[in-house]
Amino acid sequence: MELHGRAWNRSSWILLDITNMEDVKTKGMTVSVLQGITEAQWTSLGLSDKKIRFAWYMEITASTDVLKLKEIRVSYNTM
């Protein structure tokens, strides 16, 4: 089982340790970065089996904070 993920840093795909939440927090992608990845950049990831898994990290800073996720939308082309 792989214990690393990849994130786009606006110029290349980098590895991050998914067992280390600080690594995920500092190297992970923001929504704007994720939304800005082009088809060519996705292709450069080299997914020969055409499968990808997404994960997200959300954080609250106080016990009185409320964290809500409004929507996740994924559009993809199977061709």
pLDDT band at 48 (very low <50, low <70, confident <90, very high): confident
pLDDT band at 23 (very low <50, low <70, confident <90, very high): very high
pLDDT band at 2 (very low <50, low <70, confident <90, very high): low
Q: What is the pTM of this model?
A: 0.73
What does the domain layout of the chain look like in residue ranges?
A: 1-79
Q: Please state, as a whole number, how many other Cβ atoms lie within 10 Å of the Cβ of residue 19.
A: 9
Residue 78: predicted pLDDT: 65
Q: How far apart are CA 14 and CA 12, in angstroms?
A: 6
29, pLDDT greater than 70: yes
Residue 79: predicted pLDDT: 63
